[in-house]
Amino acid sequence: MKKLAYLSLVFLVLVLPEFMNAAPPPPPGGAPCWPPPCVPVDGGIVALMAAGAIYASKKIYDRKKQKSLH
């Protein structure tokens, strides 16, 4: 009997708060935004552009270094 009491106490302390802190359901009809895609891509595009610029500058540097050795 004590084992069942301990298991129920563990359930109440550890598992039940997870269900209580769940996010509310989305509004009916989908996300309220316009235009419809509603995808925030501005931060990702900037990061990809920066990575591309760094990669391109390294390639240019390596080619100049290789030409100076020949």
Distance CA 43, CA 51 (A): 13
**For the chain, first and last CA: distance in Å?**
85
Is the previous residue joined to 37 through a cis bond, with omega within 30 degrees of 0? no
* Residues whose CB is less than 8 angstroms from the CB of residue 38 and which lie 6 or more positions away in sequence, other chains included: 31
Q: Is the pTM of this model over 0.85?
A: no
Q: What is the tens place of the pLDDT at every residue in 27-66?
A: 677 656 666 667 766 667 888 889 999 999 999 999 998 8
Q: What is the tens place of the pLDDT at every residue in 20-36?
A: 676 777 667 765 666 66
Distance CA 13, CA 5 (A): 12
